[in-house]
Amino acid sequence: MKTGLRHGVCALALLGGLVAAGAANAEVARARDLGIPFSGITGELNAITDVPGIEVGQVTLIEGEGELVVGTGPVRTGVTVVHPRGRDSTEGVFAGWFTLNASGEMTGTTWLEERGIIDGPVAITNTHSVGVVRDAAVEWMVQKGWSADWHAPVVAETYDGGLNDINGFHVTRTHALEAMSAARTGPVAEGAVGGGTGMVCNGFKGGIGNASRRFTAGEQEYTLGVLVQCNYNWDGDDLRLGGRRVDHLLPVGEHCFTDHSIERHNDWYPYCGDAGARSVSMSSRDGSIIVIIATDAPLLPHQLARVAKRPSLALGRLGAISTAGSGDIFVAFSTANAGRVDESNHAEVSVFPNYALTTVFTAAVQATEEAIVNAMTAAETVIGAAGFRVEEMPEDEVRAVFRRSGD
Question: For 264, which DSSP code?
Answer: -
Average pLDDT over residues 39-53: 98
pLDDT number for residue 136: 98
Quick: pLDDT tens for 16-42.
344 444 444 457 789 999 999 999 999
> Is residue 328 among the annotated active site residues?
yes
Per-position b or e across 347-386, b if 16+ CB within 10 A of its CB: eeeeebeeeebebbbbbbbbbbbbbbbbbbbbbbebbbbb
> Is 182:59 a contact under the CB 8 Å cutoff?
yes
What is residue 390's predicted lDDT score, i.e. its pLDDT? 97
Residue 12 has pLDDT above 70, yes or no: no
d(CA 84, CA 49): 10
Q: Which tens digits make up the pLDDT trace of 71-95?
A: 999 999 999 999 999 999 999 999 9
Q: Which of 212, 288, 322, 334 is catalytic?
A: 288
Say what angle helices 130-144 and 173-182 make with each other, to 10 degrees: 50
Which of 165, 235, 296, 328 is the catalytic position?
A: 328
Active site residue 284: no
pLDDT of 378-388, one tens digit each?
Answer: 999 999 999 99
- pLDDT score, position 279: 47
Tens-place pLDDT, residues 124-177: 999 999 999 999 999 999 999 998 899 999 999 999 999 999 999 999 999 999
Residue spans of the domains in the chain: they are 13-405
% of the chain at pLDDT higher than 70: 90
Is residue 276 very low, low, confident or very high in pLDDT (cuts 50, 70, 90)? low
Instruction: Determine the topology of domain 13-405 in CATH.
Output: L-amino peptidase D-ALA esterase/amidase (3.60.70)
Q: What is the pLDDT of residue 15?
A: 41
